[in-house]
Amino acid sequence: MLSIINHSKTLKTIIIALALLAVPVSIAFSVSFGAVDIDLSTVWQAVFHFNQDITSHQVIQELRMPRAISAALVGASLAVSGAIMQGMTRNPLASPSIMGVTDGAAFALVLMLAFFPAVSNLGLTLAALIGAGVAVVLVFLIGSLSTSGLTPVKLALAGVAIGTMLRSVSSLISLHFQLEKEMGFWLAGGLAGTSWTSVKILLLLGIIGLFFSLIISRSITVLSLGDDIATGLGQNNLIIKIIGILAVLILTGSAVSIAGAVGFVGLIVPHITRFIMGTDYRWIIPASAVFGALLLILSDITSRLINAPFETPVGAITSLIGVPFFLYLARNSGGGK
């Protein structure tokens, strides 16, 4: 896909700066919308002149701020992890939800809740990391070991199969231990239960994941030209891929353990970003983070408004946005192979 602004670095910087500026603005709007609308000046006051005696300040500080910030961090994590996957596999359909990663994380969470009910938040996050890891390794292995290699359709089908399998086993466990509600929450994806602890976990792991991603961003650009070319240019592909997979696991695992299976963010955002920013992953990765954050904050606002006063799972909203996009990609890239 060709970029519309292929060469101008200034323009790219301006776009990222503008998008970055839009993040706090949309967070502010996200905080002000809710069961009771709070006007923006009160939001400002609650953040910068917090007064413990005012209820709306309490609501903002304890409920709405962590939720909005979590949305931003989850969106950024998923988008960056999708960008790395697509760059490493040169597969336009690679993304956390297509590849069964989210199902793997949910599977591990259900296992933990069933057998170690007293587990801490951090323990859940670690379990989600491991579950995501198992799923991604399985899907990659199936795709790579098959006769014609890792084509888009193979990857998608392997993801569907592994995802269905893991989801079936999770349902089995959740039915037996009566965890359907928790399970349903993760499969639908939602931000309702977020707190400052979630923000801390997301921030910590997000920074580590983003750090890894940025280290290898240059090499991913080379890798996206093809493994052979990358090797020819003297690059150690194995190390890059290991760091890449590690970053994907950290980012996806933390996002899923907090917000459940929020689908398609990791699929759409990297494509949009590539369309705007071109093929250089040093630009794509930070820009994906910003765009992903924006997309999820806006989806979260939509999820609260669409059926007010009830919440619709944010995962359903992102899927509804993502599916037409997926269909477009499938039409264009599926026929080739």
Contact status: 307 vs another protein (CB under 8 A):
yes
Between 163 and 253, name the residue whose CB sits nearer to another protein. 163
The least distance separating another protein from the CB of residue 55, rounded to whole angstroms, comes to 28
Structure tokens at 317: 């909203």
Q: Which of residues 188-207 bind another protein (CB under 8 A)?
A: 188
Stretch that binds another protein, among 46-54, 144-152, 224-232, 240-248 (CB under 8 A): 144-152
Contact status: 93 vs another protein (CB under 8 A):
yes
Between 243 and 330, name the residue whose CB sits nearer to another protein. 330
**Secondary structure in 3-state letters for 173-227:** HHHHCCCHHHHHHHHHCCCCCCCHHHHHHHHHHHHHHHHHHHHHHHHHHHHCCCH
Pick from 6, 13, 164, 236: which binds another protein (CB under 8 A)? 164
Between 38 and 156, name the residue whose CB sits nearer to another protein. 156
Could you check whether the bond before residue 270 is cis, i.e. omega within 30 degrees of 0?
Answer: no
Between 22 and 188, name the residue whose CB sits nearer to another protein. 188
Pick from 146, 195, 231, 302: which binds another protein (CB under 8 A)? 146
Ordered DSSP codes for 21-53: HHHHHHHHHHHH-SSS---HHHHHHHHHS--TT
Contact between 262 and 78 under an 8 Å Cβ cutoff? The reply is yes
Contact status: 227 vs another protein (CB under 8 A):
no
Contact status: 320 vs another protein (CB under 8 A):
yes
Contact status: 45 vs another protein (CB under 8 A):
no
Cβ neighbors of 67 (< 8 A, separation 6 or more) are 30, 191, 192, 194, 300
H helix intervals, the chain: 9-32, 40-48, 55-59, 65-89, 101-115, 121-145, 152-176, 180-188, 196-223, 227-232, 237-259, 265-277, 281-305, 314-333
Stretch that binds another protein, among 20-28, 112-120, 176-184, 223-231 (CB under 8 A): 176-184
Which residues are near another protein by CB under 8 A? 93, 142, 145-148, 152-154, 156-158, 160-162, 164-165, 168-169, 171-172, 175-176, 180, 184, 188, 263-264, 306-307, 310, 312-313, 315-317, 319-320, 322-324, 326-327, 330-331, 334-335, 337
